[in-house]
Structure 1
Amino acid sequence: MSILLKLSALVDGLSVRLSYAAAVTVLLAALISAGNAFIRYGFDISSNGWLEIQWYLFAATVMLGAPAVLKFNEHVRVDIIYGKLRGKGPVWVDLFGLVVFLLPVMGLLAYLSWPLFMKMYLTNEMSGNAGGLIRWPAMLLLPAGFGLMFLQGVSEIIKRVAFLTGDLELNLQYEKPVQ
Structure 2
Amino acid sequence: MQALLRLSRIIDTFTEWVGRLAYILVPIVVAVGVWNVANRYVGRAIGVTLGSNFYIEAQWYIFSMIFLLGSAYALKHNEHVRVDVFYSNYPPKRKALVNLLGTLFFLLPFCGLLLYFGWPYVEQSWRIRENSPDPGGLPRYIIKTFILVSPILLIIQGISEAIKCFAAFLGVLDPSQVVVEEKETKL
User: TM-score, with normalisation over the residues of structure 2?
Assistant: 0.88
Q: Find the partner of 2:123 among 110, 118, 126.
A: 118
The residue number in structure 2 matching 1:28 is 28
Q: Which moved more, 1:40-49 or 1:9-18?
A: 40-49
The within-5 A match list for 1:1-179 is: 1-43=1-43, 44-171=49-176, 174=180
Aligned letter for 2:8?
S
Query: 1-side partners of 2:24 and 2:106: how far apart?
Result: 30
The residue number in structure 1 matching 2:185 is none
Residue 96 of structure 2 contacts residue 175 of structure 2 at CA under 8 Å; is this kept in 1?
no
Secondary structure of 1:77's aligned partner:
coil
Q: How well do the aligned residues superpose, as a CA RMSD in angstroms?
A: 1.5
| Unmatched 5+ stretches in structure 2 | 44-48, 182-187
Q: Give the percent of matched residue pairs that are identical in Structure 1 and Structure 2.
A: 35
Query: 1-side partners of 2:120 and 2:27: how far apart?
Result: 31
Aligned letter for 2:54?
G
| Unmatched 5+ stretches in structure 1 | none
* Alignment coverage as a number of residue pairs: 175
Residue 111 of structure 1 contacts residue 143 of structure 1 at CA under 8 Å; is this kept in 2?
no
Residue 49 of structure 1 contacts residue 133 of structure 1 at CA under 8 Å; is this kept in 2?
yes
Aligned letter for 2:9?
A
Which structure has the larger Rg? 2
Aligned letter for 1:132?
G
Query: 1-side partners of 2:18 and 2:103: how far apart?
Result: 21
The CA deviation at 1:52 is 0.9
The residue number in structure 1 matching 2:184 is none
Secondary structure of 1:31's aligned partner:
helix
Query: 1-side partners of 2:117 and 2:14: how far apart?
Result: 23
Aligned letter for 2:71?
A
Q: Which moved more, 1:43-52 or 1:4-13?
A: 43-52
Aligned letter for 2:42?
G
Secondary structure of 2:82's aligned partner:
coil
The CA deviation at 1:87 is 4.1
Q: Could you give the per-residue CA deviations for residues 106-165 of structure 1, whole angstroms, max 9, x where no partner exists?
A: 111022212222221221111112221100111111101111001111110000001112
